[in-house]
Amino acid sequence: MPRDTKEQLLETGLEMLLRQGYSGLGIQSVLREAGVPKGSFYHFFSSKEDFALQVIDRYMANVHEGLDLALGDDSRPPLARVRRFFELSRDKYESEGRLGCLLGGLGQELAGVSETFQQKIEGCFSVIVSRITECLEEARQRGELPAHNDPADMANLLLNCWEGAALRSRLWRDTAPLDAMLDFYFAAAKSA
Do residues 151 and 52 lie in contact, with contact meaning Cβ atoms separated by under 8 Å?
no
Task: For residue 147, tell me if it sits in a domain.
Answer: yes
- State what percent of residues in the chain have pLDDT above 70: 98
**Domain CATH for 93:** 1.10.357.10
Do residues 99 and 105 lie in contact, with contact meaning Cβ atoms separated by under 8 Å?
yes
Task: For residue 43, tell me if it sits in a domain.
Answer: no
Task: For residue 25, tell me if it sits in a domain.
Answer: no
The number of distinct structural domains making up the chain is 1
Do residues 8 and 34 lie in contact, with contact meaning Cβ atoms separated by under 8 Å?
yes
Domain interval for residue 118: 49-191
pLDDT band at 1 (very low <50, low <70, confident <90, very high): very low
Task: For residue 136, tell me if it sits in a domain.
Answer: yes
Do residues 145 and 79 lie in contact, with contact meaning Cβ atoms separated by under 8 Å?
yes
More confidently predicted of 160 and 39: 160
- pLDDT for the residue 97: 80
What type of residue is 68?
D
Cα–Cα distance, 145 to 61 (Å, whole number): 29
- What digits encode the pLDDT tens for the residues 107-141? 999 988 999 999 999 999 999 999 999 999 999 99
- What digits encode the pLDDT tens for the residues 35-74? 998 888 999 999 999 999 999 999 999 999 999 999 999 9
Task: For residue 137, tell me if it sits in a domain.
Answer: yes
Task: For residue 118, tell me if it sits in a domain.
Answer: yes
Cα–Cα distance, 15 to 182 (Å, whole number): 26
Per-residue pLDDT at 104 exceeds 90: yes
140 dihedral zone (left: phi>0; alpha: psi -120 to 50; beta): alpha
Q: Looking at residues 28-41, what average pLDDT do you find?
A: 92
Task: For residue 8, tell me if it sits in a domain.
Answer: no
Do residues 60 and 127 lie in contact, with contact meaning Cβ atoms separated by under 8 Å?
yes
User: What DSSP element (H or E) covers 82?
Assistant: helix 78-95
Task: For residue 55, tell me if it sits in a domain.
Answer: yes
- pLDDT for the residue 42: 92
- pLDDT for the residue 39: 85
- State what percent of residues in the chain have pLDDT above 90: 88
